[in-house]
Structure 1
């Protein structure tokens, strides 16, 4: 998208996002200066509103799901879109856990200079944080709550299929909860427009929204990252996913069955089993065990020779989500190298009884999470850290990596004071 200043006119999409960003910026100082406990009070109030207003939220989501089904949305994407009573209860519980989590220190001493000045490091809010995410309603609350806990205001843009659900969560839950806690409702903004133009606009206004969290398919996040970099916006991308499971020759058959089953309980999520690696000497022995577990889930193995990359992410392949790729490897080092080379580096598991094999795999793999006899589905902010997340970052550069929470959404500032 070309910026309006270059065109001489402003598109309706850009204008709508800019207005939302301006409202968020106006609310940001109040969020930063909120008294002790005010943010947590808002989160608790939001949890209560979810519990008490579940029927309205479920009705809004049912309308989104019905429209998506009529449009032919694939089952895996429908699973992400759908809200159930159980999922609403989980969202409320996570808000309560977040509210009970103490805020990190805002300032701490670093050193005293030879000339006597005292150096402190301080954590300060970003101000306004944007987020672009897939048609997954729970992410509306996950991201907004993390941004608020980081004492910033939020501008959210969701996939068009979830716009009705997201609107209900913002208007019926988040904004009233903010008001109840004495905070401005404008601290959470939702871009009200479907389509990609709103996302492109959000990453294109660094003066208003300096940081944007981007989730979704690799293609979309990479395109938005390029647009953001061109505009001068810091984009924190949560892109490609796909969990890896390596079955070592020492693997216990019962553990193989458990891990394959546990790793495929949901097919539309990024940390599900996507690539199955089997130690070559045990291929004919272990693969039938894994296949039986996948058959129980209604999942088809994509076996060699492959017409697609090994790391092809089935969760994003509409209509073909119920697949897992399998290939043979030569021991734990080759397995770790294959997982690192062929996938995004989200998470990988080794199923093994041999501790030396497990250590070799763990030391070699460079992704964001590595597991021994535990499912890659555990690579999740709430499961690992006890906190909701904005997403999972797989960058191979310094900065927030793995599940990103409010603790990662602050700025570093140095303060130098005179000698004591």
Structure 2
């Protein structure tokens, strides 16, 4: 039964994709504006559905950080609505490209075109339902959404509201569809629907992402987990280092660009660790340190191997004293998920080594890892942050949701 339903969803998506690929920028923007207004008009229904999700999550005893990611408010709905208007202001990548002429007279034009049908598989965050739909529509892509069970009631209302608004504005029916079944059987079938899907983008925890990557026969753009590091070098400016570390860890600890491990040069450990430790303690951050860290900060718990390997997504920070830059590079090489890494230093040569030798989607000098975000990079919204190297890397905006084709103009050439 469920296979027939999935095939129906896939068929509708494929039919819609054929029409949406050639929709004008004006028609797509009008749909996005209608979606933005529809969210505000249906705010009460959205909040009621979200409250059911939040209550269920609390009754299940889910972590506070997860519940907070799930929660919507009138202010957050207004922000989501505004984000749709910001996507309207972004340049439409479809049809952009360049043209050149070969010696035999052939004119070759390279243009950006939509990927086609994008399946988003994600967890917890109901705002992703709207963000993903907005970016897909603006770039001419149909989207099939499959959110987590924790946000099911919220996603049902959000997807219905924006889909109805988009279709009422003239976009093809089926351009936004939500899979409301949350069993693994549905996901296993979905990620093998090559005849209907062009790409899958998983967005969530490491378990979800790896399950999709390892089992999908449809091409996957891997959005990565964020085992993000900050290295405070012996030539760091403490007035920069302390707020950078505090921001990267505490501003929003439940996201992929939040800091998970702090590495400190042993030459400044005795001086710097008490400074940063006190600031983090004020903000209820639990430190889990190496033996040297625990000697200096007696309130730190001993770190385990898992503390260097896995995201906490909480107010927990691994802290390790390393001999020097090489020690930091070696640690990051071993444990990084190639998301975002930063060095705090006033030493130009060491900063340049860090930039050159770290293999990650975003590498920083004297700045917080929290900047790895489509909005902060100037892309508008983002559909995810890719940690792979093909076909996109880093924050993925509209252009990353397109591919290219070549249109060749001839006049009888055969050689």
TM-score scaled by structure 1? 0.90
Structure 1: how far apart are the matches of 2:2 and 2:204? Answer: 20
Structure 2: how far apart are the matches of 1:310 and 1:340? Answer: 15
Q: What is aligned with 1:178?
A: 166
Q: Are residue 414 (structure 1) and residue 406 (structure 2) matched? A: yes
SS in 1 for 2:193: coil
- 1:374-385 alignment, distance < 5 Å: 374-385=367-378
Which residue, 130, 152, 158 being the options, matches 1:169? 158
Q: What is aligned with 1:360?
A: 353
* Mapped contact 1:76–1:315 kept (Cα < 8 A): no
Displacement, 1:161?
Answer: 0.7
Which residue, 244, 257, 261 being the options, matches 1:259? 244
Displacement, 1:141?
Answer: 0.9
Q: What is aligned with 2:276?
A: 290
Structure 2: how far apart are the matches of 1:279 and 1:103? Answer: 46
Cα shift readout 1:287-308 (whole Å, capped 9, x = no counterpart): 1122122212211111115322
Cα shift readout 1:252-304 (whole Å, capped 9, x = no counterpart): 22322211221122221111110101011111111112212221221111111
Q: What is aligned with 1:277?
A: 263
Structure 2: how far apart are the matches of 1:56 and 1:110? Answer: 49
Structure 1: how far apart are the matches of 2:284 and 2:225? Answer: 24
Q: Are residue 37 (structure 1) and residue 26 (structure 2) matched? A: yes
Q: What is aligned with 2:305?
A: 308
Residues 1:331 and 1:97: Cα distance change in structure 2 (over 3 Å):
same
Structure 2: how far apart are the matches of 1:202 and 1:409? Answer: 20
Residues 1:71 and 1:169: Cα distance change in structure 2 (over 3 Å):
same
Structure 2: how far apart are the matches of 1:18 and 1:385? Answer: 38
Q: What is aligned with 1:3?
A: none
Displacement, 1:378?
Answer: 0.8
Which residue, 65, 72, 90 being the options, matches 2:61? 72
Question: Which moves more between the two structures, 327-336 or 241-250?
Answer: 327-336
Which residue, 207, 211, 218 being the options, matches 2:206? 218
* Mapped contact 1:13–1:201 kept (Cα < 8 A): no
Structure 2: how far apart are the matches of 1:15 and 1:191? Answer: 13
Displacement, 1:16?
Answer: 2.7
Q: What is aligned with 2:299?
A: none
Displacement, 1:30?
Answer: 2.5
Q: Are residue 401 (structure 1) and residue 398 (structure 2) matched? A: no
Structure 2: how far apart are the matches of 1:195 and 1:311? Answer: 32
Q: Are residue 205 (structure 1) and residue 193 (structure 2) matched? A: yes
Q: What is aligned with 1:8?
A: none
Structure 2: how far apart are the matches of 1:342 and 1:90? Answer: 35
- 1:84-95 alignment, distance < 5 Å: 84-95=73-84
Structure 1: how far apart are the matches of 2:172 and 2:391? Answer: 31
* Mapped contact 1:337–1:364 kept (Cα < 8 A): no
Displacement, 1:391?
Answer: 0.8
Cα shift readout 1:322-377 (whole Å, capped 9, x = no counterpart): 21111122333432342233120110111223333322222221211112221111
SS in 1 for 2:31: helix
- 1:80-159 alignment, distance < 5 Å: 80-104=69-93, 106-159=95-148
Structure 1: how far apart are the matches of 2:327 and 2:27? Answer: 51
- 1:219-234 alignment, distance < 5 Å: 219-228=207-216, 231=217, 233-234=218-219
Cα shift readout 1:140-198 (whole Å, capped 9, x = no counterpart): 111111111110111010011111111111112x1132133211342100001022222
Which residue, 60, 72, 76 being the options, matches 2:49? 60
Q: Any unmatched runs of 5+ in structure 2?
A: 292-302
SS in 2 for 1:314: coil
Structure 2: how far apart are the matches of 1:315 and 1:16? Answer: 37
TM-score scaled by structure 2? 0.91
Q: Are residue 336 (structure 1) and residue 338 (structure 2) matched? A: no
* Mapped contact 2:92–2:398 kept (Cα < 8 A): no
Q: Any unmatched runs of 5+ in structure 1?
A: 1-11
Moved over 4 A (4+): none
Residues 1:60 and 1:141: Cα distance change in structure 2 (over 3 Å):
same
* Mapped contact 1:302–1:324 kept (Cα < 8 A): yes
RMSD across aligned C-alpha pairs, in angstroms?
1.9
Q: What is aligned with 2:227?
A: 242
Cα shift readout 1:26-81 (whole Å, capped 9, x = no counterpart): 22222122233111111112222223332222221111010011011111211221
